[in-house]
Chains A and B, each alone.
Chain A
Amino acid sequence: MAIWRFIPFTTAVTVLLPVVVVFSSFWVPTDDVWRHLVETTLLTLIINTAWLAFGVVIGTAILGVSLAWLTSVYEFPGRAFFSWALLLPLATPAYVTAFVALGLFDFTGPIQTSLRVWLDSDLSWFPDIRNRFGVIMILTLAFYPYVYLLARNAFMSQGRRSLEVAQSLGLNRRQGFFKVALPMARPWIASGIMLVLMETLADFGTVAVFNYDTFTTAIYKAWFSMFSLDAASQLASLLIILVFAVIVLEQQSRLKMQYAENKKSHRANRILLCGWKKWLVCGLVFVTLFAAFFLPIMQLSIWAIQSVTANFDFLRFGEFLWNSLILSFLAVLLVCLMAVVMVYVARRFSTTSIRYAIRIATIGYALPGTVLAIGIYMPMVWFDGKLNEWISYWIEIENGQLLQGTLITMLIAYLIRFMAVSYYPIDGAMQRVTRNIDEAALTFGVHGWAMISKVHFPILKPGIFTAATLVFIDVMKEMPITLMTRPFGWDTLAIRIFSLTSEGQWEQAALPAVTLVLAGLVPIIVFMRQTEH
């Protein structure tokens, strides 16, 4: 028992460390940078960031929820394929999609170029996608799977039944969706949106491709261009405060609600769409998937094929792939296990302060990658130094590094980064495990580990699988932490993409990018197939 109580608190403290590091800069005077920001770009940054967050949240909510509803309640041509394929955009890094979209649609892209030739005009009417609308579009297409995945979990376990109940009460389908199914799925949708919001605020790659100035670009500008990590941290703390405010609001509004369990008495049938309706739905879903995934992946594949030359080092490339896979796999084990523990703690000691503490522990996800990376790195180096002093009391160690440059550091860093991604889906699933389930189980003499494995696990399974899929793919895409904490000479696909794109060699980066997407299929097929009914 003692170990169990110890783990969540250690985890929470570990996960909170980088946030503390970032906040510790708060009282360092950086008037110089601030005065400059206030005088010049701050207002634009705030407006831009607000628009971006608002647009992407609304966009992903509408897209994610409607796609989840369509694929979990209705039957239409290609439904089985779409229900997992709609997750694919998750595996393409957003900034890659952005670069490809820009390549296709802007002034020098093939579309405008051929139109200029055919129509013999300067095409001045053609909309420029390098603007606010364009960024929102790209991020919506890149991030909707978070909402889709979580909303789908909710709808799959209750959607069709809730619709039946609504209809038995005399509501039509539309009313059934808005009055019953949607409110019941709210915690899941809200969790999905939280993840989207945090990712959007932390995004740097996509806004950089569009040269769209946000809070994150200001953070990096203060750090990398004006050499003030303190000012960057202060800006980042404001981001954290903002996300915290959203969490509080969401948590407050959720308190009033109670969710009853879902009886698995029988499985409701999907509603068969007929005639033009089924083709319309099929068409809409396809268009989304085409724009979000197939179009960018086709362009990447063309580049990838072109980039494979005669002296291509397949062995080395295989090593990148292997490293990516093994790293994601280990991270999934660790992060999901810890998230389950955290969720149990939150359930066991259901006090407000513990719930908040755990939510705050997920907040690091909203920090721009490199800021979080250094926030993790600093305490780690300190700890390593102390550990070293302590050990060298007995044994002589030459290079002063014990944990740095080992997979252990990397895995702990991923735990900190991706706690949010695994916590939210598993927490969502835990909401389904109500007190009455536990009580019923107890009356049948089921308790302890048997309760967890026989009663809870089947209910938690979809949530755990969702978390595992998200963590697997996110770890594989992750760059700043991987860059900073990896062992020497230990490169992954994401590192390869980074090094090529940082020198502007996008065509060469296509092969690792496509491979990364294909590797992302592994968890999608392994886990999502299992929740498919």
Chain B
Amino acid sequence: MMRFSSNHFLFVIFFVVTLICTQNVHASEVVVYSARIEQLIKPMFDAFTKETGIKVRYTTDNEGALLARLQAEGKNTPADMLITVDAGNLWAASKAGLLKSVKSDVLENNIPLHLRDPNNEWFGLSVRARTIVYNTRKVEPRELSTYEDLADEKWHKRLCLRSSKKVYNQSLVAMMIAEHGEAETEKIIKGWVTNLATDPLPDDTKALEYVAAGKCDVTLVNTYYFGRLMSKDSNLPLAIFWPNQHGSGVHVNISGAGITRYGRNEKAAIQLLEYLSSAKAQNLFADLNMEYPANPTIKPDRFVATWGDFRQNPLNLIKAGELQTTAVKLMDRAGYK
């Protein structure tokens, strides 16, 4: 008798759990898969719901997992929109046929050409600038010029870099390949590796701390990490330098989004995407993480603006995706760990 009742017990638990968790789908709602974390998307979604009455449901995960998930779900996917924090993964999603081309004058007006897919399958929503940060006690700004110059031997044992496993560095190198070709870029990356003062570091914040503590003099980071660290301790001897201003411009990446191919709420999803690109949401989207608005008519946050204006690299970010694998291999060959 006992064994049957224990089976029943389990069955009852399962049944109750299903009841609790099976959710109904509402007619006016958008389902979002996001690699951008909850804290950086929820405020905009809330504002959108308040304005339109359309509900937004979302789940977060890392972008590789989300892509694999979309692929596995195929036509049955509940997702209407995919948000990532880099262009490479949007390119990969588009290449795998997971995204849909969107015809929208609003988006085309709001988002500059180089920050969106030529086929309009994805759109940048905020700009992440990867730039040089230096130790103000040890480096004169006039010593600095370009990313490529950091391979020069005058920076021997003065450079700190984050690990090559982070997509930000992979995108940077991919864009360099697009500009200089593979052979030339490999030479530059080898130069960087020779100039390293210490093994590559696990994150941008660590790299900044190493520069501030004097282990090295310069590093390459996304500006919002600099912003976060400086707002905690404004006395740190760190400053931003905008490289390549007389050449190709500062390397930028995006946090962006695309509409999924098999989503069920396409209309509402496009409405959300347009909203996110609009003046109403752009500041919130960028400012929450001290990034730059993708919409060029919107001014960045006041603190961010104090770092000065800069010219972005106008090369279309699709290259960051197309050349990412090439970049990863190149960095492996150059011994950039």
**Chain A residues with a Cβ under 8 A of chain B:** 3-4, 36, 39-41, 102, 107-108, 113, 128, 130, 208-211, 213, 217, 220-221, 223-227, 229, 330, 333-334, 337, 370, 373-374, 377-378, 381, 384-385, 388, 398-402, 404-408, 411, 449, 453, 480, 483-484, 486-491, 495, 499-500, 502-504
Contacts and interface: CB of A to CB of B under 8 A. Distances in A.
Contacts of B23: 405, 487-488
A217 B204 contact: no
Contacts of B332: 36, 40-41
B183 interface: no
Contacts of A208: 163, 165, 202
Contacts of A502: 37, 62
A499 B41 CA distance: 12
Given A208-B163, A211-B163, 12 more contacts: A102-B206, A108-B212, A226-B329, A377-B68, A377-B72, A381-B73, A407-B17, A408-B17, A483-B65, A499-B60, A502-B62, A503-B40
A52 to B, nearest CB: 15
Nearest to A212: B337
Contacts of B225: 504
Which of B25, B63, B68, B74 has the largest number of chain A CB atoms within 10 A?
B68
Contact of A229 (B68, B74, B199, B209): B68
B205 interface: yes
A483 B78 contact: no
Which of B6, B21, B39, B201 has the largest number of chain A CB atoms within 10 A?
B21
Which of A381, A402, A503 has the largest number of chain B CB atoms within 10 A?
A503
Contacts of A486: 59
Contact of B65 (A217, A484, A490): A484
Given A40-B332, A208-B165, A500-B37, A406 B68 contact: no
B72 A108 contact: no
A401 B72 CA distance: 13
A86 B305 CA distance: 51
28 contacts: A40-B332, A102-B202, A211-B165, A211-B337, A213-B337, A221-B328, A225-B165, A226-B328, A227-B92, A330-B17, A337-B6, A373-B65, A377-B68, A377-B69, A381-B73, A384-B76, A398-B25, A405-B21, A406-B22, A407-B17, A411-B17, A483-B60, A483-B61, A483-B62, A489-B57, A491-B38, A503-B289, A504-B204
A151 B97 CA distance: 52
B226 to A, nearest CB: 12
Interface in B1-42: 1-3, 6-7, 10, 13-14, 17-18, 20-23, 25, 31, 37-40
Interface residues of B, number: 68
Contacts of B324: 225-227
Contacts of B205: 504
A404 B74 CA distance: 14
Given A211-B199, A449-B3, A504-B205, A224 B63 contact: yes
Nearest to B40: A503
A128 B328 CA distance: 27
B215 A107 contact: yes
Contacts of A102: 202, 206
Interface of B: 1-3, 6-7, 10, 13-14, 17-18, 20-23, 25, 31, 37-40, 57-65, 68-69, 72-76, 78, 92, 95, 163, 165, 167, 170, 198-206, 209-210, 212-213, 215, 225, 228, 264, 289, 324-325, 328-329, 332-333, 337
Given A225-B324, A399-B25, A406-B21, A488 B39 contact: no
Report whether over half of chain B's contact residues are helix, strand or loop; otherwise say mixed.
helix
Contacts of A406: 17-18, 21-22
A213 B163 CA distance: 11
B169 to A, nearest CB: 10
B76 A400 contact: yes
A254 B315 CA distance: 63
Contacts of B74: 381
Nearest to B205: A504
A502 B81 CA distance: 21
Contact of B76 (A113, A225, A381, A489): A381
Nearest to A223: B64
Given A40-B333, A211-B200, A370 B18 contact: no
Contacts of A503: 37, 40, 289
B321 to A, nearest CB: 9
B170 A225 contact: yes
10 smallest A-B Cβ distances: which pairs? A224-B64, A499-B37, A108-B209, A400-B76, A406-B21, A40-B332, A483-B61, A407-B17, A399-B25, A108-B213
A130 B203 CA distance: 13
B332 to A, nearest CB: 4
B78 A405 contact: yes
A107 B163 CA distance: 17
A225 B65 contact: no
A398 B10 CA distance: 28
A225 B325 contact: yes
B21 A374 contact: no
A374 B68 contact: yes
B72 A226 contact: no
A480 B337 contact: no
Nearest to B16: A407
Given A406-B17, A487-B23, A113 B213 contact: yes
Contacts of B264: 399
Contacts of A499: 37-39, 60
A408 B18 contact: yes
A489 B17 contact: no
Contacts of B329: 36, 40, 226
B57 A217 contact: no
A489 B114 CA distance: 33
A40 B336 CA distance: 11
